[in-house]
Amino acid sequence: MLSVSFLVLASMSGAFARTPQGFEPAVENSLVVSFGSVAAMDGNVLAKASTQTAPTIGTQSKLDGTSFAVVMVDLDIPTNSPPQTNTLLHWLQTNLTQSTSATAVNTTAGSMDVFTLQTSQQAAFADYIGPSPPARTPLSHRYTQLLIDTSSATTQDLSVLQSAAATRMGFNANTVLTQAGLVDKVIAANFFNVTNPGPVEAATNSSTGSGSGSSRGTGSVTSPTQSSTPLPGAAASQKASELLVAIGLVGAAFFAL
């Protein structure tokens, strides 16, 4: 009997990119990204509520490296000059290690045996922020994840990543990874969409963020403790919003995710 993981693997052996069309660097190997029981793959659309804590990531075959980093970028940040868009770094965690044995991950795509990547105690260069596309054009955002083999990265290479991660808005993965000498070390990738149900609202130039409530979309599940923060999620988003405030992008923060 063919297992689901074999079928998934077989379907992934074609030489097409796991990254969105036009994205650089284009990556062919698949990164498994799972939010609990929900698989994020092939640009499928996930409910915002299921994406608010960092996913389990892994690969279906064991990798050779000893140390990895994950990057997640939103490629579809609305701007005040549509259809122009910007990018936002949602996650940059280094010093991941891979489990030596595969574990079954239940997803909407079936059960997969995955060698998961585990977070070390090392703080993220950029904490995970859950997707939260606003009611602006484009309503649907592509969230791209890249897995980088940092086994032979130098302290200096990693510090390039760390400095770049300090500015989430406009994060260009290709440029940053090239500067860090790691663009050839991107070994697996994935992307999924999260879509605001709309309708599109007029842009506001207000620096007080009066549109923050509506920009968070409707129908999402938000716990009472989170409702007073402009960004969804818990501590990580709080930090992110503080960071954005600190660098004077508070206005952008309300519609950027």
C-beta closer to ligand NAG: residue 138 or 233: 138
| Binding of residue 156 to ligand NAG (CB under 6 A) | no
Ramachandran region of residue 157, left (φ > 0), alpha (ψ -120 to 50) or beta?
A: alpha
Residues 92, 69: Cα–Cα separation, whole Å:
7
Sole binder of ligand NAG in the list 78, 138, 217, 230 (CB under 6 A): 138
Helix (H, G, I), strand (E, B) or coil at 86: strand
DSSP 140-164: EEEEEEEEEE-TT--HHHHHHHHHH
Half-sphere exposure of 29 (CA within 13 A, CB side): 15
CB of 25 to ligand NAG, least distance (A): 19
The span of 8-16, 124-132, 195-203, 210-218 binding ligand NAG (CB under 6 A) equals 195-203
CB of 183 to ligand NAG, least distance (A): 20
Using the rule CB under 6 A, is 137 a contact of ligand NAG? no
**Window contacting ligand NAG (CB under 6 A); options: 22-30, 199-207, 212-220, 239-247:** 199-207
CA angle 125, 152, 157 (to 5 degrees): 45
Whichever of 76 and 127 has its CB closer to ligand NAG, that residue is: 76
Which of 66, 99, 120, 208 touches ligand NAG by CB under 6 A?
120
CA distance 49 to 130: 9
Q: Does 122 bind ligand NAG (CB under 6 A)?
A: yes
Instruction: Pick between residue 90 and residue 142 the one whose CB is nearest to ligand NAG.
Output: 142
Number of residues that bind ligand NAG (CB under 6 A): 17
Q: 9 to 48, contacts with ligand NAG by CB under 6 A?
A: 43, 45
Under DSSP, the state recorded for 18 is: S
Which burial class, exposed, middle or buried, applies to 12 when counting CB atoms under 10 A from its CB (0-12, 13-18, 19+)? middle
- Within 68-107, the residues that bind ligand NAG by CB under 6 A are 76, 80, 95, 106
The rounded Cα 153 to chain-centroid distance in angstroms is: 22
Tokens of 184: 């050839």
Q: Which stretch binds ligand NAG (CB under 6 A): 9-17, 138-146, 227-235, 242-250?
A: 138-146
Check binding of 203 to ligand NAG (CB under 6 A): yes
Interaction between residue 159 and ligand NAG (CB under 6 A): no
Partners of 68 in the β-ladder = 96, 149
Using the 8-state DSSP alphabet, how is residue 126 labeled?
B
Within 10 A of 248 (CB to CB), how many other CB atoms are there? 9
Q: Which residues bind ligand NAG (CB under 6 A)?
A: 43, 45, 76, 80, 95, 106, 111, 120, 122, 138, 140, 142, 193, 195, 202-203, 205
